[in-house]
Structure 1
Amino acid sequence: MGTSEAYGPKPVPQPGPDPVPQPAPAVRAGRWSHLATGADLAFMAQLVVAGAVFLATAGMRDDHGTGFAGGALSYAPRVLLLVVLAAYLHWLLFTLPAMALARLLGTARWAAARAAVGAAAVSAPYAWGAAALWDVPFGRSAAWVAGTGLLPVTAAWYARHRFLGWGAMAARIGAVTGIALLLAAFGGFLLERTRWHAYEAPRLDRSRYVGEWTGAGGAYRLRLGEDGAAEAGNLPLAGGHIGVWDSCSGTGTWRFEPQRDSGGPFHRGPRDRVTLTIEGCRFGDWEVAGTADRPELFYVDRDPGGPGGPDVTILHRL
């Protein structure tokens, strides 16, 4: 008998208990700060991209001679601070409660559906409050609330589904945002070069300007007669006169000055103008805006005597 037989067969080792898996930091129970990872970044990104699209499509809207696209860029630093604050408040008041409700609804199965249910449950009271305060239809209010929360909730669900932290989400959202901004810049360049769907002021006959004009909820009044007579009521003055009592009221004359088309295929040239001559009143030419069905006259005071850029007075045809 050999030595190995003398001691008997060797015992077969038994497998020990499986180690308990440790969840990723982003999904540990009780860590509320990880329930909605990346949602604030997604909210900021959608606001920034929406602002870029607004500036890129500025030529499709009437700026009333103020060039609001360029003026908006000067307010960018202050707007960015508001965007960061809005993103944090949205994360705190919308996405975090929505994801908390999603976690309470069950296990890891159907995580996307539970996130959608949680978002809908949070959207409902906000939409009802907005509808009650501002007298807007509930459906429209709910669409706005849910629409602004779609991307943040999706980002939060994606972060928990992939076990991603804040840094990983920042890299992904930053890359997508950068691509969207480049597309918006390229689209704005094409719109500016081609003048596709660019706004053009209406070209109307002189007779279309005869009649009553009003602005500022009826505070400003102007009557243009067929015989060239004009009567102003409480029109604001130009050149730094911005006080509540600095206004123009009186009678005088008006003259219609149509402008030539540029002859180009994408731009029709400067706007038609109406020149008012009223004793004691100081302002330049009123320019045409609006549409052929709803024309407007506006005047830009580029020296309003205070901060905030030029003042624009707009009159609507009655």
Structure 2
Amino acid sequence: MVTPEPYGKPMPEAAARGGRWSRLATGAELAFMAQVIVAGAVFLATSGMRDDHGTGFASGTDVLKVLVGGLPLLVLAGCLHWALFSLPATALARLTGSPRWETARVVPCAAAVTAAHAWWVTALWDVPFGWAAAWIAGTGALPLVAAWHARRRSLWWGAMLARIGALTGITLLAALAGAFLQARTGWLGYEPPRLERDQYAGNWVGSGGAHRLRLDGNGAAEAGNLPLEDRSTTLWDACSGTGTWAFEPKGAAGGPRSSGGARSSGAARDRVTLTIEGCGRMVDWRIGGTAARPELFTVLDASDGRRVVTLHRP
């Protein structure tokens, strides 16, 4: 069926005029990239509410390197998400019925695409189907909303870029303001747990069992492949053996120390010091995590940056 134009030339129906395949999900890739950028900004803005293990914020140069180096990958990820999720969902919605209920059909069609991708993920990796489906659906919701808005308003890519860019900029400014207020007020700031000496006694493991530590209540300690304080003086970076351990509460321990002995930024933490026979000076371990899930950690200086080693209860 066609609708005649005033001059007698046939005009396609509205669904056909806006039905080019390239415009079925206009702006979905932009929305995907925007939500990744905002999620990263919120993660950085709320870092003061989590345990940073005394490492603090990355320098401005490091952040700039990540942004510049990650931009091409982000663009590629946005295009892949558009091709693998947004476009199939909107295409199925159009092919499965009339244009009248096309918007309503996007939801079940998106659910079908989500289930297909979740099944594929669980077949390749040991990931629960429910978690995979939740992540896929969560990352695809905003791109589909953007595609629906573009199709409803007949917007091209440039118009969507302007709208999504403006919303992203406003959100980033809000995240920056929130980070500033959190840093100034300390609202919901992270505080390391305070444990009694007897609560440290027991077994601690890390790196999939590669590092082991057993602390007895009487002061005896058994270390398994734990890092040394000065690794340049020996042929090995770690050492194993038996010895003793001492507990230094926050008041006596002072500020946290890095593996090189220098004080690092951040609040003082309780510390566990080890003396293992034949190993030389061992690194100090500081308390982190939460009271319900405490952990011992140390920060090692390496040629390519700083590495955090954590031990937790098995």
Q: How does 1:172-251 map to 2 (within 5 A)?
A: 172-238=163-229, 246-251=237-242
Structure 1: 5+ residue stretches without partners: 1-14, 263-267
Alignment partners' CA distance in 2, 1:273 and 1:212: 16
Alignment partners' CA distance in 1, 2:281 and 2:22: 60
Match of 1:34 in 2: 23
Query: Larger radius of gyration, structure 1 or 2?
Result: 1
Q: How large is the RMSD of aligned CA atoms in angstroms?
A: 3.0
Alignment partners' CA distance in 2, 1:239 and 1:91: 50
Match of 2:313 in 1: 317
Match of 1:57 in 2: 46
- Amino acid across the alignment from 1:178: G
Residue 144 of structure 2 is aligned to residue 148 of structure 1: no
Match of 1:300 in 2: 299
- Amino acid across the alignment from 1:58: S
Residue 124 of structure 2 is aligned to residue 126 of structure 1: no
Match of 2:263 in 1: none
Give 1:69 shift.
Answer: 5.3
Give 1:245 shift.
Answer: 5.7
Alignment partners' CA distance in 1, 2:163 and 2:132: 30
Structure 2: 5+ residue stretches without partners: 255-265
Contact 2:86/2:140 (<8 A) preserved: yes
- Amino acid across the alignment from 2:271: R
- Amino acid across the alignment from 2:200: Y
- Amino acid across the alignment from 2:298: Y
Instruction: Tell me: CA distance 1:313–1:189, structure 2 relative to 1, closer, same or farther (3 Å).
Output: same
Alignment partners' CA distance in 2, 1:235 and 1:119: 49
Alignment partners' CA distance in 2, 1:122 and 1:63: 38
SS in 1 for 2:250: coil
- Amino acid across the alignment from 1:260: G
Give 1:40 shift.
Answer: 0.6
Aligned mate of 2:273, from 269, 272, 275:
275
Give 1:96 shift.
Answer: 1.1
Instruction: Tell me: CA distance 1:281–1:78, structure 2 relative to 1, closer, same or farther (3 Å).
Output: farther
Aligned mate of 1:94, from 79, 85, 92:
85
Give 1:239 shift.
Answer: 5.0
Q: Which moved more, 1:268-277 or 1:183-192?
A: 268-277
SS in 2 for 1:232: strand
SS in 2 for 1:110: helix
Instruction: Tell me: CA distance 1:23–1:48, structure 2 relative to 1, closer, same or farther (3 Å).
Output: farther
Report Cα offsets for 1:186-237 as digits up to 9, x if no partner: 1122222222222111111111112322212222112223333322111133
Report Cα offsets for 1:222-266 as digits up to 9, x if no partner: 22233333221111335566x99632112333221111399xxxx
TM-score normalized with structure 2 length: 0.83
Give 1:104 shift.
Answer: 1.2
Match of 1:8 in 2: none
Residue 56 of structure 2 is aligned to residue 67 of structure 1: yes
Contact 2:212/2:226 (<8 A) preserved: yes
Match of 1:288 in 2: 287
Instruction: Tell me: CA distance 1:18–1:271, structure 2 relative to 1, closer, same or farther (3 Å).
Output: farther
Alignment partners' CA distance in 2, 1:245 and 1:27: 71
Contact 1:287/1:298 (<8 A) preserved: yes
Give 1:160 shift.
Answer: 1.3
SS in 1 for 2:170: helix
Aligned mate of 2:32, from 27, 31, 43:
43
Contact 1:27/1:35 (<8 A) preserved: no
Alignment partners' CA distance in 1, 2:13 and 2:56: 53
